[in-house]
Structure 1
């Protein structure tokens, strides 16, 4: 069995993704152990920045787990993991400000965020069904089924692509707000930037793996 170039690329990117996840974990642990100079918890940072943005109706809640933080645009809630919600660390402030960045994007109808929300079904169907339809199309020699699977998976790849500007913009807003509001010192903002940059790498890796997988599917069609 000959392993194609796209398969090797996917394997290499998968290994790179694992290294990125490890880097994120170590960076987050480092700055989660460093208390910020204003002794503000993630929840306090989120509440201050939300109020500053006029988003007093957006709630801040705690959720179980580590790095399970997210903004829920439907419920209008910033949810912070238990490792960030009540912890006055640099990492907690960075993550909280990042999630508030998403809330501000929602408030301003940030184009990429709206597009990503519309592409969510494509992610769910494309990731779960796309590859299986591609495989079934090859095994059953059904060209139409194969290409439907490819198109569905392409939608998932597009979701990963649109996610990049959404996450980068939220991190940019976070750093500007943390320093501009005086919630972190200049040196602490440097630590926050490292945490957010490490997180951004995971999104880049996710997109790269999805794109390589899509190209491998297309390569299968060219070999047929």
Structure 2
């Protein structure tokens, strides 16, 4: 059957990388969640401080449930921090909060990769939901144009994942620079924050590798119809 054909082997390295990356980010966050910052700041305090210092007084900082659910919403201009980050004063919490403020700064400055990523979100949401359906339908019915259209739509997902990489790396770089420059974290604390953000970055790398592997797999399967 299609689901168990030999092309699946292409995904194995990507799935392993994704699993390792997810374990790494969770374990690293847990490790540095045990170390409080010497200044005693909470994640929400750091986020509010950095936003205000950059003139983003109108960007609220909200608490949301879940672990590592932190994100900046550019459509509503809201920063949402998980409970552990919002209330926590650990090195990990400060690093994550500063990272999300990095996205707010990118939005304010109209950082090109972020602008591009935001502009294609509707297309990607549509593509990710329907690309596989169209591909499977084309494969089963033997309709080559439908197969190709499914691959084309899935390509938008790959582009989105690739554009996400500089967005996330830049937000982390901004976070570490400002935490050091403003003396929010000390040198040994900065190393912990960097470890957390580096581990988180690997999850985005893994997502990009997985998307690319899936695209290659679709292309290889489509050639069976030639």
Range into which the TM-score falls when normalised by the shorter chain:
over 0.9
Question: Which stretch shifts more, 120-129 or 162-171?
Answer: 120-129
Match of 2:80 in 1: 79
How far 1:54 moved relative to its partner? Answer: 1.3
How far 1:159 moved relative to its partner? Answer: 0.4
**What is the distance in 1 between the residues matched to 2:14 and 2:60?**
38
Match of 2:90 in 1: 89
Q: Secondary structure at the match of 1:67?
A: coil
- The correspondence of residues 1-224 of structure 1 with structure 2, limited to 5 A, is 3-4=5-6, 6-224=7-225
How far 1:122 moved relative to its partner? Answer: 2.6
Residues 180-213 of structure 1 show CA distances to partners (whole Å, capped at 9, x for unaligned) of 1110001111110000000000000001001010
Name the Cα RMSD after superposition: 1.2
In the alignment, structure 1 segments of 5+ residues that lack a partner are none
Does the 8 A contact of 1:122 with 1:159 survive in 2? no
**What is the distance in 2 between the residues matched to 1:75 and 1:123?**
19
How far 1:222 moved relative to its partner? Answer: 2.3
Residues 33-55 of structure 1 show CA distances to partners (whole Å, capped at 9, x for unaligned) of 11011110000010111111111
How far 1:3 moved relative to its partner? Answer: 4.1
Residues 62-98 of structure 1 show CA distances to partners (whole Å, capped at 9, x for unaligned) of 1111111000112211110001101101011000000
**What is the distance in 2 between the residues matched to 1:76 and 1:16?**
33
Residues 88-110 of structure 1 show CA distances to partners (whole Å, capped at 9, x for unaligned) of 01011000000000000000000
Number of residue equivalences: 223
**What is the distance in 1 between the residues matched to 2:12 and 2:192?**
31
Question: Which stretch shifts more, 103-112 or 49-58?
Answer: 49-58
Question: Which stretch shifts more, 159-168 or 16-25?
Answer: 16-25
**What is the distance in 2 between the residues matched to 1:59 and 1:121?**
24
